[in-house]
Amino acid sequence: MTRRLRGHHAQRAVARLGAVALALALTRSHAFVLGVEASEECARVEPVDPFDLDAYVEAEWYVAAQKPTSYQPTRDLFCVRANYTVVDERTISIWNTANRDGVDGSPRNADGRFKLRGLIEDPNMPSKIAVGMRFLPRFLYGPYWVVATDVSPGDAEFDERGYSWAIISGGQPTISRGNGLCEPSGGLWLFVRDPEVSEEVVSKMKEKCESLGIDPDVLIPVTQEGCSFPTLP
């Protein structure tokens, strides 16, 4: 390849990265504008407190249902699993896996080469996390708030078995659904420890969403039955 061509490629790559960063920045400022506009219509949601990060990351989470996101489109909503590793008190490493177009479809990120990073702004509030790609600056990260769990530190059941489900919202819900409920501009996830969780538990989680003012109708069920899950070598 000639030097000029190489230069041209590099220039195009830089232009592409710039476009991605700009698109992300616009999405975020748009969400901010929406947040200001919609804050009166949407119930205020807070990350859970107290919250035990070590108990939260002690085992893999399976997604029972979720709102699709740019990096988790509907066709990838099979066998979705998240695994977290605490790096330090402000950082977690995130390994998400899934299958595309079916439980036997092509595995997404099974080799774990693509890791997201979670940043905890305030170690006293570890349920409030910002998630993004490792090479991007913090202001481009999206909010990831644990807004409900089945049990809390201090409960006898929590001491016995830790968390068995959690609801994650991509920040404060800002978009009114016109039915008195709202959705976050980011994702919404129902996390369970047991990939074969009962419909009853999922219904309970959806009711919890409603009680927080979040519309569970934005959730798409994730198939977990018949999945084989990857392990890191």
Ligand X SMILES: *[C@@H]1O[C@H](CO)[C@@H](O)[C@H](O)[C@H]1NC(C)=O
Residue ranges that bind ligand X, judged by CB under 6 A: 57, 60, 83, 85, 231-232
190: its two tokens: 């129902």
DSSP structure string for the chain: --HHHHHHHHHHHHHHHHHHHHHHHHHHHHHHHHHHHHTTTSPP----SS--HHHHTSS-EEEEEE--BTTB-GGG-EEEEEEEEEEETTEEEEEEEEESSSTTSPEESTT----EEEEES-TT-TTEEEEEETTS-GGGPEEEEEEEESS-TTSHHHHHH--SEEEEESSS--EE-SSS-EE-SS-EEEEES-TT--HHHHHHHHHHHHHTTB-GGG-EE-B-TT-------
Which of 23/59 has CB closer to ligand X?
59
Which of 97/149 has CB closer to ligand X?
97
Which of 97/127 has CB closer to ligand X?
97
Shortest Å, Cβ 206 to ligand X: 27
Which of 29/91 has CB closer to ligand X?
91
Shortest Å, Cβ 95 to ligand X: 7
Shortest Å, Cβ 231 to ligand X: 5
Which of 80/181 has CB closer to ligand X?
80
Shortest Å, Cβ 59 to ligand X: 8
Which of 57/175 has CB closer to ligand X?
57
Shortest Å, Cβ 66 to ligand X: 19
225: its two tokens: 């039955």
Shortest Å, Cβ 85 to ligand X: 4
C-alpha span between 210 and 181 (Å, rounded): 7
Nearest to 94 by CA among 138, 130, 55, 64: 130
